[in-house]
Amino acid sequence: MTVRASPLSVRKQAGFTLIEMIAVLAVIAILAAVIAPPIIEQINRAVADSETQNLDAIAQGLEEYIKDKKIIPAAGSWAADVATVLPIPASKITSNERNFTRGYYVDPNFSPALPYTQDAGNIALPVSPRIMIVSDLTANALGALSNFNATWDQTADKDLTEGPNVKIKRMHLGHLFHHVLLSNLQGPPAPPSYRIETGTQPNVPTGSLDLYVLDGSKLSLFLHTGGLNDALLVLADESPLYYTPDAGSTWLWKRQ
């Protein structure tokens, strides 16, 4: 005896109908519309937080380079220079995680002009030693800023608006320079001299000489007789140094 399946049984075994499939897809679309925005927002927030950390690391690398090489790089070489002290290539310094170019902007009033290489030391405190490293997660960095101060301060005429997608790392390099006062109390005709790092060896004129040198610089002090009196690392203390009689006709460099 042959048993035939009823039409109803055949329809049940055939799977979803077109209407049922459309209903399922509609539910999936609704769920995706509800779930996707928070997920995308979370991803964007994670990328933004990561970029903030990256800029902090790059800025730290730049400071390490400045203190190690006694050079403040200009825009043309900054990434390659920083890459020498960080375990990442220059391409990862010039571009953010979304492959947009980062910007390196120097205060136009920065004096002395960059690149700055320390030799005998500045005779004046550097003016406006400010740098900004900027990263936009939605576009390449601007070629130049029309208003550095406004962008730094985020005032009305700013070129960029700092926010979730635009990260600005501000660097004021003033704290990297230390004031050194050299006082020559002997006078001519045989002045003492000094040398910073491996630079030139100029004389210290009668009276006082103000120098501003980068953190960690090696300062060598020489007697008027030509011998080396002292060598020290210029750190946080900025005690004046005097070339003064020690005993009788013996002249030495002394701290205050």
Amino acid at 185: L
Structure tokens at 233: 């690392």
Q: Give the pLDDT of residue 234.
A: 72
pLDDT at 168: 98
DSSP letter at 56 equals H
Report whether 98 contacts 50 (CB < 8 A): no
- At residue 250, the pLDDT reads 83
Instruction: Please tell me the distance from the alpha carbon of residue 15 to that of residue 168, in angstroms, as a whole number.
Output: 57
Residue 57 corresponds to which tokens in the numbers above? 């690391």
pLDDT of the residue at 82: 97
Mean pLDDT, 10 residues at a time, the chain of 256 residues: 52 64 76 68 82 97 95 95 96 95 97 87 86 97 96 96 96 93 81 88 90 89 85 72 83 84
Query: What percent of the chain is modeled with pLDDT above 90?
Result: 51
Q: What is the largest CA-CA distance in the chain?
A: 136
Specify the pLDDT at position 238: 74
Which of 1.10.20, 2.60.40, 3.30.70, 1.10.1870 would CATH assign to domain 176-255?
2.60.40
pTM here? 0.80
Domain limits of the chain?
A: 39-119+127-173, 176-255
The Cα 41–Cα 17 span in angstroms is: 36
Check whether the bond before 112 is cis (ω within 30° of 0): yes
The whole-angstrom separation of Cα 101 and Cα 168 is 13
